[in-house]
């Protein structure tokens, strides 16, 4: 059963601390398993991928055609989509592309007051690997959210890995790959696919950055391989925090909470409200909607195990501070004037302003990326962006005059740090 708390309870602080500190990642100890898988892929390459694909996906990688999905097949899938689905994907792609184009950073090149030329050049990585789930969660929207920022950044080679259990692939995922301009799609998944992208095999050339959602094994593989490749983030179970006053429609808020609960049994949905009666109405609405929801089994487990309702005395005075402690992936502000909340909430993956901005719109067509930090990581990290596929190279240039202006200080600091070769490198040039 979901938990209901009130800030007026004398033990509220202790109970809230337990919610903040709770870890909802998989209880399984997957680190050791992932280490073994990655080492096997590194040593045995394609042969290891064949074995893991057969074991985990019931799919045999034999001929060349078994390994990859061609661009022609993706174009065909796009052509065969129902017109409304095709139009929805293309609208989403257009809005995602437009939003991320505005993120492109500018190069800098200037001369400072000492006469030193300084600056930085932004360049894309050469190749990006995109993980696309193919089991419980086969989401074309995630492919667009990962591939389009990479392409906007200027990445020349986009590589998708996706499991195809029993050989089945999702036509909408293939259509999304066509829209986004993906170069390669490999029929492999799990930690072994992440290892193949990082290390490379005879068939699959390595990449520089790996992004995209996945299960606990995929997340752990990305964590272990950070440093061999760049990654977007180590993502955990999805979460939503809805801050809502009592004038909302309880059916709307119930649906918003279930929109995350249906993702996974370990997802978390939290409501903060200043109206206890409204909170009870939302609980009743959740029960009614669960009775007809096709994803009810997953959503029920999530809501009963991790769902939380917090009743506060003063919504504006109390909710932002609680939200900052939670640092949730998604924060909905279902109030008449969300601006004061927006300025007060410092830690959130993405914030949705007003009653007409459900998180689900952000998952698909709004434009901002839906790959967001979970597990309170919004305290120190951001959602996926163009910058995840780029790196910055600084440069500087001095002439004799500018060198004479700042060089002596460098030599002084080098001597102070006990690095005489550093100092000599500078002193030989001073005139």
pLDDT 10s digit of each residue in the chain, 431 long?
789 999 999 999 999 999 999 877 655 688 999 999 999 999 999 999 999 999 999 999 988 889 999 999 999 999 999 999 999 999 999 999 999 999 999 999 999 999 999 999 999 999 999 999 885 557 899 999 999 999 999 999 999 999 999 888 899 999 999 999 999 999 999 999 999 999 999 999 999 999 998 888 999 999 999 999 999 998 889 999 999 999 999 999 999 999 999 999 999 999 999 999 999 999 999 999 999 999 999 999 999 999 999 999 999 999 999 999 999 999 999 999 999 999 999 999 999 999 999 999 999 999 999 999 999 999 999 999 999 999 999 999 999 999 999 999 999 999 999 999 999 999 999 98
Q: How far apart are CA 248 and CA 233, in angstroms?
A: 34
Active site members: 329-330
Q: How far apart are CA 25 and CA 37, in angstroms?
A: 20
Asked whether the beta carbons of 192 and 52 are under 8 A apart, the reply is yes
Q: How far apart are CA 82 and CA 84, in angstroms?
A: 6
* CATH number among 3.40.50.1980, 3.50.50.60, 3.40.50.2300, 3.40.50.300, domain 31-107+124-231: 3.40.50.1980
Helices (H), ranges, 22-124: 31-44, 46-57, 64-67, 71-80, 83-101
Q: How far apart are CA 79 and CA 102, in angstroms?
A: 30
Q: How far apart are CA 132 and CA 151, in angstroms?
A: 16
Predicted confidence at residue 1, as pLDDT, reads 72
Asked whether the beta carbons of 320 and 341 are under 8 A apart, the reply is yes
Q: How far apart are CA 13 and CA 121, in angstroms?
A: 48
Predicted confidence at residue 136, as pLDDT, reads 52
Task: Report domain 3-25+236-366's class.
Answer: alpha beta
Predicted confidence at residue 135, as pLDDT, reads 58
Geometric angle at alpha carbon 299, from 293 and 301, rounded to 5°: 135
Domain ranges in the chain are 3-25+236-366, 31-107+124-231, 398-427
CATH fold match for the domains 3-25+236-366 and 31-107+124-231 = yes
Predicted confidence at residue 255, as pLDDT, reads 98
Strand partners, 59: none
Q: How far apart are CA 47 and CA 61, in angstroms?
A: 9
Predicted confidence at residue 25, as pLDDT, reads 67
């Amino acid at each position: 059963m979901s938990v209901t708390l009130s800030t007026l309870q004398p033990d509220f602080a202790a109970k809230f601390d337990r919610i903040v500190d709770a870890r909802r990642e998989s209880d399984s100890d997957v680190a050791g398993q992932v280490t073994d898988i990655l080492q096997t892929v590194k040593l045995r390459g394609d042969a290891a991928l064949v074995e893991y694909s057969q074991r985990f996906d019931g799919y045999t990688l034999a001929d060349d055609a078994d390994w990859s999905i061609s661009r022609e097949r993706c174009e065909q899938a796009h052509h065969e989509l129902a017109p409304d689905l095709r139009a929805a994907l293309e609208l989403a792609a257009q809005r995602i592309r437009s939003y991320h184009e505005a993120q492109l950073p500018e190069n800098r090149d200037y001369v400072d007051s000492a006469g030193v030329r300084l600056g930085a050049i932004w360049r894309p990585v050469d190749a990006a690997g995109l993980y696309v789930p193919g089991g419980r969660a086969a989401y074309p929207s995630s492919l667009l959210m990962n591939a389009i920022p990479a392409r906007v950044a200027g990445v020349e080679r986009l590589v998708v890995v996706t499991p195809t259990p029993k050989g089945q692939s999702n036509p909408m995922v293939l259509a999304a790959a066509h829209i986004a301009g993906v170069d390669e799609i490999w029929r492999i998944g799990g930690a072994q696919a992440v290892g193949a992208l990082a290390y490379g095999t005879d068939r699959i050339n390595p990449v520089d950055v790996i992004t995209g959602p996945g299960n606990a094994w995929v997340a752990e593989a990305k964590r272990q391989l950070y440093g061999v490749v760049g990654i977007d983030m180590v993502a955990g179970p999805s979460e939503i925090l809805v801050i809502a006053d009592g004038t909302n429609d309880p059916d709307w808020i119930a649906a918003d909470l279930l929109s995350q609960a249906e993702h996974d049994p370990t997802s978390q949905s939290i409501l903060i409200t200043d109206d206890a009666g409204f909170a009870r109405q939302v609980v009743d609405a959740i029960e009614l909607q669960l009775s007809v929801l096709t994803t009810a089994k997953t959503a029920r487990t999530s809501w009963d195990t991790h769902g939380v309702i917090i009743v506060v005395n003063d919504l504006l005075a109390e909710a932002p501070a609680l939200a900052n402690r939670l640092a949730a992936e998604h924060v909905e502000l279902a109030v008449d004037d969300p601006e004061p909340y927006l300025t007060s909430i410092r830690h959130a993956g993405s914030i949705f302003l007003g009653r007409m901005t459900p998180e689900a719109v952000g998952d698909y067509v709004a434009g901002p990326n839906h790959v967001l930090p979970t597990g309170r990581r919004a305290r120190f990290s951001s959602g996926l962006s163009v910058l995840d596929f780029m790196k910055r190279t600084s440069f500087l240039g001095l002439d004799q005059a500018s060198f004479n202006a700042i060089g002596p200080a460098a030599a002084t600091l080098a001597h102070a740090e006990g690095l005489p070769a550093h100092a000599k490198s500078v002193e030989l040039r001073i005139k």
